[in-house]
Structure 1
Amino acid sequence: MFKQHLFRNFLMLIGLGLVSLCQAQNQKITTLDGQKLKPEYLTNQLEAIIEKVGIPGISLAIINNNEVVYHEALGITNTETKEQVDKQSIFEAASLSKPIFAYFVMKMVEQGKLDLDKPLYQYLPHPGITENSKEDAKLITARMVLAHQTGFPNHSNGEPIELAFKPGTDFMYSGEAYQYLAAIVGMQNEVGWKKDLNALFQKEVTQPLKMPHSTFVWDDYLAAHKVSGHNEDGSPNPNHPRPGYWDGETFNSYSSLHTEAQEYARFIIAMLRKEGLKESTFETMLAEETVFSEDNPLRQQVGQTGWGLGFAQKKGPDHTMHLHTGNNHDFQAYAMFVPEKDYGLVVFVNTGKMIPFLEELYKVIGPQF
């Protein structure tokens, strides 16, 4: 009798598992404009798009109701080896490094390690400012760095930095400023700006968000799973650190995050659910810190209205899209989320063809940018 009872329970568990599996297979994806798509239809369309555009490999995730409802990895890791991309394949996030670093910075602010509005020179004077910009550089704060208001160039390439404008008065996208802030975060925590800073980042961000393989520095998992980037002619580049590119040990807050779509989507979900930071901190991050003028090129070309602390913004009649692009040339990335719709999208490709890919994707799931 006891064995029969156990057997009935076992059959019941199998039945529940089959029901759950069927529900997952039949779950439809809701697009930002309200379309309902079957996962297999979207996968077929993605396969056709990457073939048409000439994209070697892709990792893509879609978020509905603050959950990942679709995750797919397609194509090949390398046009020479023809090895298949899979859901463990790792891509370069490029500038999608910046928003998650901003989230990390806000953790430091909440812990009292950093003041968002304290002049950064009081922590660490920047050693590369030209003489005629030194006084204005004393105005720069972490808030200005995250909102791209410092006047720093995107990259100084070792040259002295002359500010383009008085900090806090205009917008200029700058990875250089982000790296200055990373050095200060490392100093404040007494960990430098290499592997120990990455370990702190993982402790504070990726471990709580269940992003076990996302890293700013090289590790064994990357060595086993990173795909190759591809040049304009389709030829692959080495998929490991190399001289003149990235040494694998430096925490480049503006560009060296390595991850894949489902893991990065967990960060986007944290932004949607407001997890890991105080409510007031999320309000600060998502407020439009920089408001673009009508003649701003980003406003004119793509409709972006401003920038918060980490993400760009595009305000519509009934919602605000928070977005960021990434471009390491042989890798490109894109992520966006819309809090009013509980919706998000994350895409990584191992080529420089993100724009034509998104143009084709729009035809299937509607505007995403």
Structure 2
Amino acid sequence: MKSLGNKIAFVLICVLSSLLSGCGDGSDYTPPPPPPTELTDSYDDIAGLLDHYNVPGVSIVTIKDFKVDRIIALGVKDKSSNIAVTPDTMFQAASISKSLAAVAVMKAMQNGELSLDADIHDILYSWQLPDSSYSADSVVTLRRILGHTAGINVHGFNGYNRTGQLPTTLQILDGQSPANSEAVKLIHTPGSKFQYSGGGYTLMQLALTDYYQQPFYEWMHDQILSPLAMNNSSYQQPLPSAFIEQTSMGHYSNGKKVDNGFHVYPEMAAAGLWTTATDLANYMIEMQNTLNGNTMNLLETERLMEMLEAGKNPRFGLGFELFQADNYGYFGHSGANEGFQAVMLAHKTEGVGLVLMSNSDNGVQLFNSVVKLVGKLEEWPGF
């Protein structure tokens, strides 16, 4: 069974390599070392894995029997200050933000507020997608945005220095200064193919803001964060000062700290969530319990099952990545912002899983070693 654990890790590397493009200019990239041949016998070995992969700090939570099992906080929030990571340390979740945003949209659909299959322009009032030859054949919908099949460009975002000017959502969509990404537009016929798109989620962010007449970060707090008591989490960008002392600083693969500690991401739905590994683990436990009919605080079981159906890319559903090596049924999401990488992974039926949040561009490499270690020790399906 050990070989399947390796296969799951390989799938994660492939997915992350595609998600990482568009994050940073690569000037501070140092190739990580190969996986260690040892350091895989006990939880005590994880500290050695941090050193091996040059990761300053990490927060790890394991899930067992549909409950938080182990909470592991190792390393430092900032290499220059050497302040220790704690279970309450907040990290940037990056593209994991998309998963919670997708669940919020599905919840609103379930409540009869939104249609997944209507033209996005039915709720988008303040901006319009540029005319395109593709738009005559099909329409952009929430369902297609959630599943990355809306035909929209802009893979990911680089974020903005904390001391610089921030663009509005309209400037981001138009690609106008001070935005540092290209204008959002259709590049494929909607519904025709998979095209990973942070731009699509940013378009959705504006549509939801228009429709609900509420800042997106407040809407996400009301829809997801508050009901799940995710009290150490926020979509607000810039992050409120009350949370700053809890934050970790981002680090490049060579160990250098991101300028001013971390970037700001006004593209909140795509990449803006600050959170803790414990808050994300509780979110994933809620998803597991929903799938197994044990609770429905956010979604009905049928709605979540719909989100976990593979789309045109077999590794993606609606707002979730599907880590289904040999049909062992793991789901979750991964993310990479400037100096931060995180992955959350859970099994659909067995009540096991793991969340890892790191303040390093080497975080996914660390995750792949940690998930093989934990999967083996806990005898997860497929390991």
Q: Could you say which TM-score interval applies, normalised by the shorter chain?
A: 0.7 to 0.9
- Following superposition, the deviation at residue 139 of structure 1 comes to 0.9
Q: Give the match for residue 115 of structure 1.
A: 115
**1:42-90: per-residue Cα shift (whole Å, max 9, x none)?**
5421111101111100011111111010111110111111111111111
Tell me the distance in 2 between the aligned counterparts of 1:222 and 1:237: 19
- 3-state secondary structure, aligned to 1:188: helix
- Following superposition, the deviation at residue 164 of structure 1 comes to 3.0
Question: How many pairs were matched up?
Answer: 308
Tell me the distance in 2 between the aligned counterparts of 1:43 and 1:318: 27
**1:131-176: per-residue Cα shift (whole Å, max 9, x none)?**
434435x611111011100111225781444533211121010011
CA separation of 1:122/1:246 partners in 2, compared to 1, >3 Å: closer, same or farther?
same
Q: Give the match for residue 269 of structure 2.
A: 253
CA contact (8 A) 1:130 1:160 kept: no
Does 1:277 pair with 2:295?
no
CA separation of 1:128/1:117 partners in 2, compared to 1, >3 Å: closer, same or farther?
closer
CA contact (8 A) 2:132 2:186 kept: no
- Which runs of 4 or more aligned residues in structure 1 lie more than 6 Å from their structure 2 counterparts after TM superposition? none
Q: Give the match for residue 173 of structure 1.
A: 196
Q: Give the match for residue 183 of structure 1.
A: 206
* Greater Rg over alpha carbons, structure: 1
Tell me the distance in 2 between the aligned counterparts of 1:59 and 1:361: 12
Tell me the distance in 1 between the aligned counterparts of 2:145 and 2:273: 18
Tell me the distance in 1 between the aligned counterparts of 2:282 and 2:364: 24
CA contact (8 A) 2:342 2:364 kept: no
| 1:57-206 to 2 correspondences below 5 Å | 57-124=57-124, 126-136=127-137, 139-153=139-153, 154-155=155-156, 158=175, 159-191=182-214, 196-206=215-225
Q: 1 or 2 for the larger relative contact order (CA 8 Å, sep ≥6)?
A: 2
CA separation of 1:354/1:76 partners in 2, compared to 1, >3 Å: closer, same or farther?
same
Tell me the distance in 2 between the aligned counterparts of 1:112 and 1:187: 17
Tell me the distance in 1 between the aligned counterparts of 2:253 and 2:174: 24
CA contact (8 A) 1:326 1:333 kept: yes
Q: Give the match for residue 250 of structure 2.
A: 229
CA separation of 1:59/1:108 partners in 2, compared to 1, >3 Å: closer, same or farther?
same
CA contact (8 A) 1:228 1:238 kept: no
**1:221-260: per-residue Cα shift (whole Å, max 9, x none)?**
321110100123312225667xxx427xx46101010001
- 3-state secondary structure, aligned to 1:307: coil
Question: Amino acid of the residue matched to residue 116 of structure 1?
Answer: L
Q: Give the match for residue 36 of structure 1.
A: none
- 3-state secondary structure, aligned to 2:269: coil
Greater helix share, structure number:
1
- 3-state secondary structure, aligned to 2:349: helix
- 3-state secondary structure, aligned to 2:270: coil
Deviates more, 1:52-61 or 1:127-136: 127-136
CA separation of 1:359/1:108 partners in 2, compared to 1, >3 Å: closer, same or farther?
closer
Matched-pair identity in %: 24
Question: Amino acid of the residue matched to residue 324 of structure 2?
Answer: K
CA separation of 1:364/1:315 partners in 2, compared to 1, >3 Å: closer, same or farther?
closer
- Following superposition, the deviation at residue 189 of structure 1 comes to 1.0
Query: Unaligned 5+ residue runs, structure 1?
Result: 1-31, 34-40, 293-304
- 3-state secondary structure, aligned to 1:71: strand
Tell me the distance in 1 between the aligned counterparts of 2:111 and 2:261: 35
Question: Amino acid of the residue matched to residue 342 of structure 1?
Answer: G
CA contact (8 A) 2:184 2:199 kept: no
Tell me the distance in 1 between the aligned counterparts of 2:278 and 2:211: 31
Query: Unaligned 5+ residue runs, structure 2?
Result: 6-40, 157-172, 176-181, 291-295, 377-381
